[in-house]
Each structure stands twice: as C-alpha cells, then as structure tokens.
Homo-oligomer: A and B are copies of this chain.
C-alpha cells in the first residue's frame, strides 16, 4: 500500500482504519487483535481514534489489543483527537457538551491517551473541532510542551475552515500536518467552503471521515441518497466493479488533493474492498457524474 508523507517525519498509509464505532463491532480483544493484524497485513498501518469515541472506551480497548502483541506498536501510527467535552455519564456534573482547548485540557488529554494506548507517544494528535472560544497562543504552548516531552510527534486539526487552519498555523512551532474533514459523495461541505482548494494550495493532505456517509449511500432512503446510489451503481456497472464501496473509495482516492479515507468498518471483507478500490480506474467523466449526482444539479 502507498504511503503518504504528511510532513518531513510523518508517513501514514493511504487508507486508514477508524475506531469511531469500534465498540459496535462487538469484538473480543483477541478478535480485534486478529482484525488489526489483518489490517496491518493489508498495508493499512494508521489507526484513527479520539478520546471520546465509544464514550471514552475505544482508546483503552485498542491499548489492550496493542498489549497483546507488543510488536504492533512499532508498525503502526496512532492518530487521536481531543477538545470535545460531551455530555456523558462519565461526567455527571457537565451541563452541556462543549469544547475545551486550554493548555491543561490539551496536555492532560494527550497524557490520558498515552495511558489508554499503553504507549509513550502519539504519532498525530488533532483538535477535534474549531471552537468559538479559542486562544491560539495557549494552544501553541500546549503543542510545544507535548512535542518537547516527546509525548506527541505531530499535530493537526479536524473540521476547521481554511481561515481557522491558517490562524492556528500562524502560532504553532511545527506546521499543522492535516485537517480531518467529512468528505463523501454525500457531503460536499468541504468542496463548497473552499477547503479542498485550500488543501491543494497549501499541499495539505486531508483525512476524510465518513467516506461512505455511514452507509447512507448503500441503503438509500431519501431522494438525494437514491440519486447518488443510482449513479454509483451505473458507474459500477460501466467499470464492471462488484461493489459500490469500491466506487466511492475510488472517487475519493482519485481527487488531486490526495484525500486519505478513514475506513470505519470492523469487517475484514469490507476493508479488503476498500483496498481493492485502489485498482479501480474511473475516468474524469465518471468522477464528474458522481459529483453532479451529489450536487443535485448539472454544472453551469
């Protein structure tokens, strides 16, 4: 599998495995170990987490898995995120879900992640969402502190606009290496808000969450979902491809900005389809047909 260089010292795999729904996979630690080994075998060496995934249990579960095979940690890159303080039974006094980018919260979240993963470094640590209350100097201090101590190797953001990215990038010692955003034929938000143009300009490779739109494109309900689904099926037929997953992943992989999809499945068969999508060769007109179906009206 192709590697992608996010910065001088950080290479991740072109496809990544996301643990957002890892608890829903209902796998035992041994089963998750086996899945992880198979995934790494396929060349997918990058694992996407966040503190709050699975009500704060996913990082821990993966830590236990890594503990079962001590070699694994050296073969993989761990991505995690912090900043969202959600309503949760774990924080009974909290009155609303909100965001916290204080020095204290960023550094303690990273340290908690180290304990959860039973590791001594996080490869890539992201701010989960932009906040209306954001002190870039304080954030930059937290990043510097964590880099100096070796606890975090690289930083990025998630769901930021171009301006928010640029703003924080002005303050940090080491440039931000990625912006993880939602991209799929179902969600064109970051095409429309200028983020993809910004990524091209700044040569930033985005990570894409929900590349399959949570299954909505496979089991369409709404008019929009049906419209996209039909087009995916048409292109799959033309290309003689046996699965719509492959068409969607191929659509993302073909884009010039170098989108890195996060595969959120716990089933090795579906992950293999994602890998196989790298062999699909869709032409420009087919790519555009999917885009136009996603957009819902023809191009001007």
Binding site for B on A (CB under 8 A): 85, 94-100, 102, 129-130, 132-136, 138, 159, 161-164, 166-167, 170, 188, 191, 194, 196-198, 200-201, 255-256, 284-285, 287-289, 291-292, 298-300
Contact = CB atoms under 8 A, between A and B. Distances in A.
A241 to B, nearest CB: 17
Contact of A161 (B100, B134, B135, B194): B194
A200 B170 CA distance: 10
Closest CB pairs A-B (n = 9): A98-B288, A135-B256, A167-B201, A163-B194, A167-B197, A132-B191, A163-B197, A170-B201, A164-B197
A183 to B, nearest CB: 11
A121 B291 CA distance: 35
A273 B300 CA distance: 30
Contacts of A130: 197
Contacts of A164: 194, 197
Given A132-B196, A161-B194, A288 B99 contact: yes
A299 B99 contact: yes
Contacts of A201: 136, 163, 166-167, 170
A34 to B, nearest CB: 34
Q: Which of A95, A138, A287 has the most CB of B within 10 A?
A: A95
A87 B49 CA distance: 45
A133 B98 contact: no
A129 B162 CA distance: 21
Given A285-B98, A299-B98, A291 B133 contact: yes
Nearest to A192: B132
Contacts of A170: 201
Contact of A163 (B136, B138, B198): B198
A287 B134 CA distance: 12
5 contacts: A95-B289, A96-B288, A96-B299, A100-B284, A163-B198
A299 B162 contact: no
A200 B134 contact: yes
A99 B256 CA distance: 14
A255 B94 CA distance: 21
A98 B163 contact: no
A273 B238 CA distance: 54
Contacts of A200: 134-136, 167
